[in-house]
Amino acid sequence: MRKFCLLITIAFLSSCAVFQPKHFTQTSLNEELLTLERESISFKEVLKRNKGKKIFVQIFATYCPYSQKSFKDVLSFQKKNSQFEYVFLSVDHSYHDWKRGLESIPVKGQHYYIQKKGKGELGKFLKLKTIPRFLIVDEEGSIEIFKSSKVSDKLIR
């Protein structure tokens, strides 16, 4: 009976484990984003351009009050952590809304627009339900931190 209870407990605890992938899927890497100049670029190419560097990724929307509040923390994080490349992925309603909204955003880095938002392959892979969302990608393109809703020093390993 003890073994049975132990087995049930282990099964329950392991089912509570959070999905924390270490690598992006090929389909998520192929997601087409837009640059500030409205040129198409794959997420894979964004990562490739930053290979060899740690990448701080924020997924946000310019209209979202929670995203707007997070920029103060991101700025503080940027000042303390210049070793990161900063990539900002927007899920705004439209390209034009995103471009207009960027005028009031103080953070500096590489900005891209996710055209398919949470419904595309990248959004599905990330299980993108809420914003802002933060990820850390290591120098080789592997995911160090898959899901964080806050900017903190815990993002640095």
> What is the phi/psi pair of residue 73, to 5°?
-70, -35
Statement: residue 147 has pLDDT above 60? yes
138: closest CA among 115, 156, 117?
156
| pLDDT score recorded for residue 152 | 76
* Distance, C-alpha 12 to centroid of its chain: 29
Architecture of the domain whose range is 21-155: 3-Layer(aba) Sandwich (3.40)
Could you give the percent of the chain with pLDDT greater than 70? 85
Calpha distance 76→143 (Å, rounded): 22
Q: What tens digit of pLDDT does each residue of 14-61 get?
A: 444 556 899 999 999 999 999 999 999 999 999 999 999 999 999 999
Domain boundaries, the chain: 21-155
| pLDDT score recorded for residue 16 | 47
| Mean pLDDT across 85-96 | 97
Statement: residue 87 has pLDDT above 50? yes
